Amino acid sequence: MNYKNINLPGNLAIRPARPSDRVFLEHLHQSTREDLQAIEADAEFIQSIIDMQYRAQTQGYQSQFPNAMSFIIEYQQQSVGRSVLDFGPNEIRVVDIALIPAARGQGFGEAVIRAFMLAAQQVMTPLTLSVTEQNLVARQLYSRMGFQVEEIARPYIRMIWYPSSSVDVMSMSV
């Protein structure tokens, strides 16, 4: 799958992550850790935990998905998120997708996933992802988009979408 063939609506785009995106990616990761930012502890201590988890996540993805690619999601040429995709022999896996707080709830994540679905459909390869059990909003969205539960390995639910030559992914309504 060529990322340049992934068509996104409006002013959304994706591009491969570059070393110069490191600061943005660190801030993005920090914005996804509201749980840690809410604990009562020294701000420096909390930041050190968030930094440690970011390094562990990055190393874990590289170890578990050595062929994965990291993409930056842009809106009006501004970085608003990232996605990590692994291109396996039998599936395309959305390893991670995250958006900055200001970009959440605007349909950007759905648009990116739909574009990945279209790309997977073009090569007739299933698209998979995992979501935490407690992330009910994301689970409902993925279900409405046609993903089915494939496996439950608490605290994660692995979901899969199978391409069909008769489905127009971009025109499916939510």
pLDDT one-digit tens code per residue, 58-75: 888 889 999 999 999 999
β-pairing, 127-132 vs 92-99, is: parallel
What is residue 27's three-state secondary structure? Answer: helix
Asked if 35 and 46 count as a contact pair (C-beta separation under 8 A), the reply is no
* Domain harbouring 147, CATH code: 3.40.630.30
| Residue type present at position 107 | G
Arithmetic mean of pLDDT, 163-170: 66
Helix (H) or strand (E) holding 73: strand 69-75
pLDDT at 54: 79
* Domain coverage including residue 104: 3-171
Kindly write down the DSSP assignment for every residue of 114-160, as one continuous string: HHHHHHHHHTT--EEEEEETT-HHHHHHHHHTT-EEEEEETTEEEEE
Kindly tell me if the per-residue pLDDT of 33 is higher than 80. Answer: no
Give the distance from CA 41 to its chain's centroid.
Answer: 30
pLDDT at 36: 65
How many domains is the chain built from? 1
Query: Checking phi first, is residue 90 left (phi over 0); if not, alpha (psi -120 to 50) or beta?
Result: alpha
* Highest mean pLDDT, choosing among 21-35, 39-53, 131-145, 155-169: 131-145
Asked if 6 and 14 count as a contact pair (C-beta separation under 8 A), the reply is yes
